């Protein structure tokens, strides 16, 4: 167990460890796990071969403990040093009577307990007695007092990985905001281009109108000049005619 423990630490200090998975290591008692792991929240010791909890350390922040498929028959009082424990799996062990569970009454946050495949489960009114013994208990062997199936136990994992979840949400939010900004930006650029094209069209239309007005004015001036010239010629001819008549 000690060698596996060193591997699982991955070079971190005990105080930095939040979760330890030591399944399938071979040991009859707890070895190497000390009171230094003050921030440990999840501990898994499935199929290790434990016959007792001798050597179980003081883990003040432990919330989830997996001890299934071992050979534990007593000594649950050693878990009292983990007062925040909410989930305890003791399925597949050697617990023969309900009196062995008495120390669990002190765990006031314990809400999920699994005793499946223990001899104690064959006790008369087993479920009723266990729920009465441990008032905080919500689920026993995967079901509540009304035999409704337990919801997936994800509260602990969410608490342990809460920071990662928050960062992912922030990244997703930033990504969505970026996409929205891109959409707005493209829309704004497209709108501006339309406005510019519209302004250019209006400008060109005004220029065309001005050109047409100028041409019309020039034509009117030319027509007036031609009319004046014709009138002058006509007056000259008339004067000449009057002079001939006088002679």
Q: What is the Cα–Cα distance from 94 to 74, expressed in whole angstroms?
A: 8
Overall average pLDDT of the 167-184 stretch: 47
Higher confidence at residue 238 or residue 93?
93
pLDDT at 151: 80
For 97-141, write each residue's pLDDT tens digit: 999 999 999 999 999 999 999 999 999 999 999 999 999 999 999
- Kind and range of the H or E run holding 213: helix 162-246
Residue 61, classed as helix, strand or coil, is coil
* Residue the block writes with tokens 């009057």: 242
Overall average pLDDT of the 74-93 stretch: 97
Average pLDDT of the chain is 79
- Confidence band for 67, pLDDT divided at 50, 70 and 90: very high
Q: Running DSSP on this structure, what letter comes out for residue 89?
A: E
> Which strands make up the sheet holding 139-140, listed edge to edge?
19-21, 42-44, 64-66, 87-89, 112-114, 139-140
pLDDT at 24: 96
Q: Running DSSP on this structure, what letter comes out for residue 66?
A: E
Residue 88, classed as helix, strand or coil, is strand
pLDDT at 181: 44
DSSP strand pairing (87-89 vs 64-66): parallel
- Confidence band for 183, pLDDT divided at 50, 70 and 90: very low
Joined tokens for residue 235: 């007056």
Predicted structure pTM score: 0.64
Joined tokens for residue 93: 């062990």
Question: Cβ distance 29 to 57 under 8 Å?
Answer: no
**Which range in 3-7, 121-125, 152-156 is most confidently predicted, on average pLDDT?**
121-125
List CB contacts of 68: < 8 A, sequence separation 6 or more.
46, 47, 89, 90, 91, 92, 93, 114
List CB contacts of 126: < 8 A, sequence separation 6 or more.
98, 120
At residue 203, does pLDDT exceed 90?
no
For 13-66, write each residue's pLDDT tens digit: 999 999 999 999 999 999 999 999 999 999 999 999 999 999 999 999 999 999
Q: What is the Cα–Cα distance from 215 to 193, expressed in whole angstroms?
A: 33
For the chain, the farthest-separated pair of C-alpha atoms sits apart, in whole angstroms, at 162
Overall average pLDDT of the 202-223 stretch: 54
């Amino acid at each position: 167990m000690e060698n596996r423990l060193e591997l699982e630490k991955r070079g971190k200090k005990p105080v930095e460890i939040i979760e330890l998975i030591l399944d399938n290591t071979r040991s009859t008692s707890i070895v190497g796990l000390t009171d230094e792991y003050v921030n440990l929240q999840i501990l898994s010791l499935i199929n290790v071969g434990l016959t007792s909890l001798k050597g179980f350390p003081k883990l003040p922040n432990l919330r989830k403990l997996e001890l299934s498929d071992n050979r534990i028959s007593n000594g649950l009082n050693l878990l009292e040093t983990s007062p925040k424990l909410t989930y305890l799996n003791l399925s597949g062990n050697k617990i023969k009577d309900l009196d062995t569970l008495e120390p669990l009454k002190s765990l006031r946050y314990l809400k999920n307990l699994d005793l499946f495949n223990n001899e104690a489960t064959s006790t008369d009114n087993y479920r009723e007695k266990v729920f009465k013994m441990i008032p905080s208990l919500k689920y026993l062997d995967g079901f509540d007092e009304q035999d409704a199936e337990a919801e997936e136990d994800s509260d602990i994992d969410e608490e342990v990985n809460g920071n990662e979840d928050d960062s992912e949400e922030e990244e997703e939010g930033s990504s969505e905001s970026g996409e929205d900004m891109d959409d707005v930006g493209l829309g704004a650029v497209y709108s501006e281009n339309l406005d510019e094209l519209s302004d250019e069209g209006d400008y060109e239309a005004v220029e065309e109108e001005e050109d047409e007005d100028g041409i019309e004015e020039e034509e009117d001036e030319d027509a007036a000049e031609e009319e004046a010239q014709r009138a002058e010629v006509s007056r000259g001819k008339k004067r000449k005619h009057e002079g001939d008549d006088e002679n």
